[in-house]
Homo-oligomer: A and B are copies of this chain.
Amino acid sequence: MEPALHPDVEALACLLGRWSGEGEGHYPTIEPFAYREEISLDHSGKPFLAYRQRTVRVDTGVPAHAEMGYLRGIGRGQVELVIAHPTGVAEVAEGTAEVTADGVVVRLHSTSVTGTATAKEVLSIERSFAVAGDVLSYDLSMAAVGQPLQHHLHAELLRQA
């Protein structure tokens, strides 16, 4: 039996489920690239959603990025995010969730980005994602490898049955 959604993540309910779509990435240090992406968000009755995503390159189908973690509702429209990256980076972020007519807008900025000894240097990450009906879109900006904070990723995904 599906547990009841915790009240502290009610504003995030429209994020739950599986999403599939495509995105584009760019950064001064790399060639622009296009990717296909799968995102899943689920819950266990506690005040957080478990988040996972995987991408593959559109041109080759080869696995590209992946990440997973937890989006925490802490009440009064405030949210927190903890994400593990396979690149050795750990991202801790805080922000807001704002309910809209047909979804939600979540805005997050990192308060701590740490990494293993071999991880690429990432200084900060800003994320915004929005659900509008059956469309999930997001943007991600990043300050990394000596570059100032700037736009890195945009994607749009559709809710899967």
Residues of A within 8 A of B (CB): 3, 44-46, 48, 50, 52, 54, 63, 66, 68-70, 72, 74, 80-86, 88-94, 111-112, 114-119
Contact = CB atoms under 8 A, between A and B. Distances in A.
A79 to B, nearest CB: 9
Contact of A82 (B72, B89, B112): B89
A68 B66 contact: no
Contacts of A92: 88, 90, 114-116
Given A63-B46, A66-B44, A66-B50, A88 B114 contact: no
A131 to B, nearest CB: 21
Nearest to A63: B44
Given A69-B68, A84-B69, A84-B83, A112 B111 contact: no
A68 B85 contact: no
A69 to B, nearest CB: 4
Contacts of A90: 82-84, 90-92, 112, 114
A37 B150 CA distance: 41
B114 A114 contact: yes
Contacts of A112: 90, 114-115
A119 to B, nearest CB: 8
Contact of A117 (B63, B66, B94): B94
